[in-house]
């Protein structure tokens, strides 16, 4: 069953570019992540490491299998037949090697981008079902991108907060040193 919405090659190219963004971000994070307390989290929030693991889990256990099923199967794809990644996501312990997590995300994303590139233009118009509502496969892929962007924004906010905390600590330490120097100069006079 088709809808009246046609997907253009430009839209698919933009989707591929947007999907590649996660790989670029994971590669870029490898250079700064070691200086960040990536296992620490604010109350009620996930840590940076947990957010990265969630993104990877979502792409490997939910988004990619659904994309592949919708294209490969002749029967309709129903999202409720797949366990939602939020329900199946678990973190047992702190991340020991964040670099390994980032490399894994990058590798998995490269595979997903290649899978996306191999989906024909007409297949992007395939309908998947979410609780009996129709959703174009293309729109489903866009949901994946929006989810990832939201999580990357959360990570960026945590990095920014950590940076401000570090800056405040440095300023306090500098003030303390100046005060100590002034006090010892007063004591020496």
Domains belonging to the chain, first-starting first, are 9-188 (1.20.120.450)
Sorted by sequence, the CB contacts under 8 Å of residue 10 that are 6+ apart come out as none
Predicted pLDDT at 41: 85
% residues pLDDT > 90 (the chain): 62
- Alpha helix positions (H), the chain: 9-29, 48-58, 64-72, 85-88, 98-117, 137-188
Q: What are the tokens at 115? A: 């899978």
Compute the distance between CA of residue 91 and CA of residue 94 in angstroms, rounded to an integer.
Answer: 8
State yes or no: pLDDT of 161 exceeds 90.
no
**pLDDT band for position 163 (50/70/90)?**
confident
Predicted pLDDT at 79: 95
pTM, two decimals, is: 0.84
Predicted pLDDT at 129: 95
**pLDDT band for position 56 (50/70/90)?**
very high
Mean pLDDT in residue range 110-138: 94
Q: Return the DSSP state at 134.
A: E
Sorted by sequence, the CB contacts under 8 Å of residue 149 that are 6+ apart come out as 21
């Amino acid at each position: 069953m088709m809808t009246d919405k046609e997907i253009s090659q430009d839209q698919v190219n933009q989707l591929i570019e947007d999907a590649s963004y996660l790989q670029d971000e994971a590669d870029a994070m490898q250079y700064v992540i070691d200086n960040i307390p990536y296992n620490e989290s604010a109350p009620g929030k996930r840590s940076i490491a947990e957010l990265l693991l969630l993104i990877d889990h979502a792409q490997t256990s939910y988004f990619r299998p659904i994309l592949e099923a919708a294209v490969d199967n002749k029967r309709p794809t129903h999202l409720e037949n797949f366990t939602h990644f939020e329900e199946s996501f678990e973190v047992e312990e702190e991340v020991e090697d964040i670099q390994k997590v980032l490399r894994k995300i990058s590798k998995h994303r490269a595979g997903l981008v290649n899978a996306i590139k191999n989906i024909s233009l007409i297949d992007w118009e395939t309908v998947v079902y979410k609780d009996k509502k129709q959703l174009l496969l293309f729109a489903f892929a866009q949901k994946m991108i929006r989810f990832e962007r939201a999580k990357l924004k959360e990570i960026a906010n945590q990095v920014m907060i950590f940076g401000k905390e570090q800056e405040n600590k440095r300023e306090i330490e500098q003030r303390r040193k100046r005060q100590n120097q002034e006090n010892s100069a007063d004591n020496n006079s």
